[in-house]
Amino acid sequence: MKNRIIYLLLLLLTFVANAQEKDKVLPNANEEYTSKNFVDAEANYRISHSKFPNRTVAPYNLGNAIYRQNQFSESKYAYANALKNIKTRTQKHKAFHNLGNVFMKEKDYTQAVEAYKNALRNGPDDEETRYNYALAKKMLKDNPPPKDDKKKDKNKDKDKKDKDKDKKDDKKDQDKKDKDKKDDKKDGDKDKKDEKPKDDGQPKPKPGAIPKQRMDNLLDAVNNEEKKIQDKVNANKVKGAPVKTEKDW
């Protein structure tokens, strides 16, 4: 018990000593900032913040030094760090106001409106903040953020899936139709194959005899040959006759 009390006393003394420790770098940083040496001021604010991470002045002024160098995106992280440890409403008002200015520079009007709104909650009488808040709302109205593309992508994916499903269903229907046609064709061929020749009442030719139709065709061929020979004889008779020519226009 005695040792525990001694340990707690030592811890308390260490805390008090650290709390009373002077930040020798911060005054130099403030002086450089006033002289518009923003690069040197930034460096010293970083050193001060690393030594005293729970103090709020260095990270807040670090954000201002970076902002003055037109590094707007980087400055908002410094303001965010400062807001983690800020306790007073006055400091919160200033940090949120400057954060709103950063978002305005980035044309992120939605975040700017929120930042100025938080600044007014902590400093409602500041006319500059009120003006910036009204301006941010007007810019947001004139430049609304784009609609959520994720919803569009979801709808596109759904449409694509529906189309793919329709294609698959169409293919299944077509395959079924093709199968039905194939089955119908097989059944038709089977019927033809199984069908017995009909008896037309005509006498069947004797084995080895020439069918009547084939005999008729042979006779026609012979008659045609005789006609060709006769035509050739007649042509030779008139071979020496002169040929009349057509007249051209």
pLDDT band with cut points at 50, 70 and 90 for residue 131: very high
Integer angstrom CA distances of residue 118 from 29, 95, 126, 143:
28, 10, 12, 22
Predicted local distance difference test score (pLDDT) of residue 97? 96
Domain boundary among 86, 107, 132: 86
pLDDT higher than threshold 90 for residue 7? no
Predicted local distance difference test score (pLDDT) of residue 245? 36
Question: Does residue 154 belong to any structural domain of this protein?
Answer: no
Do residues 68 and 120 share a domain?
A: no
How much is the average pLDDT of 87-91?
A: 93
Cα separation, 135 vs 112, whole angstroms: 10
Do residues 102 and 118 share a domain?
A: yes
Question: Does residue 209 belong to any structural domain of this protein?
Answer: no
Do residues 111 and 136 share a domain?
A: yes
Predicted local distance difference test score (pLDDT) of residue 227? 73
Do residues 93 and 70 share a domain?
A: no
Question: Does residue 223 belong to any structural domain of this protein?
Answer: no
Question: Does residue 106 belong to any structural domain of this protein?
Answer: yes
**Greatest mean pLDDT among 132-136, 146-150, 200-204, 235-239:** 132-136
Do residues 30 and 79 share a domain?
A: yes
The residue that leads in pLDDT, 218 or 102, is 102
CATH code of the domain covering residue 131: 1.25.40.10
Do residues 125 and 135 share a domain?
A: yes
Q: 131 lies in which domain range?
A: 88-144
Question: Does residue 152 belong to any structural domain of this protein?
Answer: no
Report how many domains make up the chain: 2
Predicted local distance difference test score (pLDDT) of residue 192? 46
Question: Does residue 76 belong to any structural domain of this protein?
Answer: yes
Do residues 100 and 62 share a domain?
A: no
Domain boundary among 86, 103, 123: 86
The model's pLDDT over 185-226, given as tens digits with 9 standing for 90+, comes to: 555 555 445 445 455 555 555 554 556 676 676 677 667 766
Do residues 51 and 98 share a domain?
A: no
- Percentage of the chain modeled with pLDDT above 90: 45
Cα separation, 153 vs 221, whole angstroms: 79
Question: Does residue 13 belong to any structural domain of this protein?
Answer: no
Lowest mean pLDDT among 1-15, 29-43, 161-175, 214-228: 1-15
pLDDT higher than threshold 90 for residue 38? yes
Per-residue DSSP letters for the chain? Answer: -HHHHHHHHHHHHHHHHHHH---SHHHHHHHHHHTT-HHHHHHHHHHHHHH-TT-SHHHHHHHHHHHHTT-HHHHHHHHHHHHHH--SHHHHHHHHHHHHHHHHHTT-HHHHHHHHHHHHHH-TT-HHHHHHHHHHHHHHHHSPPPPPHHHHHHHHHHHHHHHHHHHHHHHHHHHHHHHHHHHHHHHHHHHHHHPPPP--SPPPPPTTPPPHHHHHHHHHHHHHHHHHHHHHHHHHHTTTSPPPPPPP-
The residue that leads in pLDDT, 78 or 249, is 78
pLDDT higher than threshold 50 for residue 247? no
Predicted local distance difference test score (pLDDT) of residue 108? 95
Do residues 77 and 28 share a domain?
A: yes
Question: Does residue 197 belong to any structural domain of this protein?
Answer: no
Domain boundary among 100, 116, 144: 144
* 86 class by beta-carbon count within 10 Å (0-12 exposed, 13-18 middle, 19+ buried): buried
